[in-house]
Homo-oligomer: A and B are copies of this chain.
Amino acid sequence: MRLGFRHIRSISSYHCRISIPRSLHRSFSTTTMAASEVNKTAHSFDKARFEALLNRRFFYAPAFEIYGGIGVAGLYDYGPPGSSLQANIIAEWRKHFIIEEHMLELDTTIMTPASVFETSGHVARFADWMVKDTKTGDVLRADHLVGGVLEARLAGDKEARGLAAAPPAPDDKKKKKKGAKAAAVKLDDEVVKEYESILAQLDNYSGLELGELCRTYALRNPDTDNEVGEPQQFNLMFASSIGPTGQHPGENQFLKLPTNLSYLRPETAQGHFLNFSRLLEFNNGRIPFASAQIGRSFRNEISPRAGLLRVREFTMAEIEHYVDPEDKSHERFDEVRDIVLTLLQKSVQESGNNGTIRMSVGDAVAKGIIANETLGYFIARIYQFLLKIGINPARLRFRQHMKNEMAHYAADCWDAEIQNSTGWTECVGCADRAAYDLSVHSARTGHPLVVRQALKEPIVTEKEVPEWNKKALGKTFKGDAGVVQKLVEALEEPELLKLKGELLQGATVIKSEDGKEFQLTPELLTIERKVFKQSIREYTPNVIEPSFGLGRILYTLLEHSFWAREQDVERGVLSLPSVVAPTKVLIVPLSAREEFAPLVQEVSSKLRRAGVFSRVDDSNTSIGKRYARNDELGTPFGITVDFASVQNRTMTLRERDTTDQRIGTIDEVIATVVELVNGSIDWNAACARLPAYDGVQAVE
């Protein structure tokens, strides 16, 4: 289960080669480090070189670059290695969740009529507060402005007090900044306290309060030093319009908004909920089960600036697990019970701290820290998945949402946060959304989104029921017949019993609210005691929702995988696990000469048949340079085809992180590399099979 990361770490403790790159130690041996050590690791990360590598090797790049890119911030194109890395992460996600847990996969539309998001609450509430620069009209996110300016002032204060201005706080929650470089001005101790208190609560302020803060503390646009206007709400959904304009407005009973107003989904979840009945039927009416969807979503961020961490178009993977609200146990919980996680609880945060605890999922659920087994199960499964693809567990924590951060209907919510050069970033959310979503869509459309469960023991009840003589009723009361019926049927059991007695005595009178009187007789109705047998329990299931931002995971994974060899700091290495590496094996013929072609062909097709994705690099540069290029692409293994291969049918096998090289026959090397890629052996085992390569090449 923990193959990914553990596999990489094990590489750094090989015994078959002595010189292990120190940087590898720094990057990957962090599990046992103290927290301070971890931070040091983070700071030794060379972001400029890292970004240059990603750009040089076209992992991703700003979209529409040749069009100047302006006006389209927050949009990125993935190049070949980025696309493959993403495809491999998705393939692993599918295996880990959909296949392993027999989830029902969906692929629903992005384009969504406005009424759906009206129901879900997105039209009213999926918004950020923005302020405008009063002179330039530049638009800023209000909370980022407040956070950024106050942080800059605090940094200026530290500088003035002779304390080194601290490196950017590693907590993303406090980093909502904009611009941010203030003069070294000392602040009153009182003011420092005020600022710190504001920063800690930044997520809780309303638009009005953010505007108040801007006035009270004279917060200005740091780029221009101009004043800003009152905060306005900006809905983060992209709007569009379906079909030609003027098409049947109001034709659909469910649509209050113009028929063709639509939004691009900001999450895939609503597509699951709307199909709940079909999914339940597909699952033979049984519960619990989960639906899963991988797809593009869109958020019209006010001013995206943080690379892949805050974008306007992104790929998500979402699970909606439907569960009986009265039984949130999980049948496979025992499998994850002992997994130990780093938890940041809401109570700790609410008291203004961010200290984490290490605790097993089993204990966390038993102590009520995590609300229920199913939520705990998914948190643990998320943890396993992230480790499998190569996330450093020492830089992964689960942060619980605070009370006022969470939607009112949610029962509990935890974010998997991954530490990176910008701080701690939410990469996966895992929420117990209770019955909210299914209930609101059901109420709006009248379509029941419920589970009907056959009860083993029917529930038997008895009650008094009025039995009407409809004909006589109509004749007696005409237009008021309905009113009379309603009056009687609204009566509670004791009143019905009283009425029953009166009717047995003869006639009686019932009064409507507006004082009208109706005489009731046994000819019109009798009250009878009846037995009711309820054999079906009908309920709205609760939803546990793990929701993955794949771009953020991909980016943090790249950061965690990056290091550089001491002898060649200009070039980097991406120590991606085989399971997600864009290319698993690089085949390097000594040159593009024809005599190597048949062997290259043979190796390449044998690997393909074994399901291992390889690439050939026969470009006109040295073997060393070709390997270095592929270290940057994260290719874990390299095979060299040289004259010895032609003469003796031997090849060398190179491991990326150690640059260790072994030698063997063509078939031995292929068999070994296939097992390495599949994870059935590690490099130590490979070294036991194949002798070290002594570096002597057969010559022409």
Contacts and interface: CB of A to CB of B under 8 A. Distances in A.
Interface of A: 57-58, 61, 63-68, 70-73, 75-80, 82-84, 86-87, 94, 99, 102, 104-113, 115-116, 130, 132, 137-139, 234, 238-244, 246-248, 251-255, 259-260, 262, 264, 271, 274-275, 277-279, 281-282, 284, 286, 295-296, 298, 300-303, 312-313, 315, 441, 444-445, 447, 449, 608, 611, 613, 615-616, 619
Given A68-B254, A82-B107, A107-B315, 13 more contacts: A61-B278, A63-B271, A64-B113, A66-B445, A70-B259, A71-B243, A71-B259, A87-B105, A110-B298, A111-B313, A238-B241, A242-B300, A243-B303
Query: Closest 6 CB pairs between A and B?
Result: A78-B107, A66-B447, A83-B105, A77-B108, A71-B259, A80-B104
Contacts of A65: 274
Contacts of A115: 67
A342 B411 CA distance: 61
Contact of A441 (B66, B75, B278): B66
A296 B110 contact: yes
Given A71-B260, A246-B139, A110 B79 contact: no
Given A86-B107, A111-B238, A240-B239, A71 B300 contact: no
Nearest to A633: B282
Nearest to A111: B313
B264 A112 contact: no
Nearest to A115: B67
A106 to B, nearest CB: 6
A244 B234 contact: yes
Contact of A67 (B113, B243, B260, B295): B113
B64 A112 contact: yes
Contacts of A72: 111, 113, 242, 262
A106 B130 contact: no
A64 B107 contact: no
B71 A251 contact: yes
A11 B107 CA distance: 32
Nearest to A84: B105
B102 A615 contact: yes
A77 B279 CA distance: 12
Contacts of A616: 102
Contact of A244 (B275, B302, B444): B302
Given A65-B274, A108-B78, A241 B242 contact: no
A666 to B, nearest CB: 21
28 contacts: A58-B281, A61-B278, A64-B274, A65-B274, A67-B255, A67-B444, A71-B247, A71-B255, A73-B243, A75-B109, A75-B111, A77-B275, A78-B106, A78-B107, A79-B282, A80-B105, A80-B106, A80-B282, A107-B315, A137-B246, A139-B246, A139-B247, A238-B240, A240-B240, A240-B264, A243-B302, A264-B264, A286-B619
A601 B603 CA distance: 36
Contacts of A99: 608, 613
Contacts of A77: 106-109, 271, 274-275
A644 to B, nearest CB: 26
A484 to B, nearest CB: 34
A298 B130 contact: no
A537 to B, nearest CB: 18
Given A99-B608, A284-B619, A108 B63 contact: yes
Contacts of A441: 66
A76 B109 contact: yes
A112 B64 CA distance: 8
A594 to B, nearest CB: 14
A111 B243 contact: no
A298 B109 CA distance: 10
A68 B259 CA distance: 12
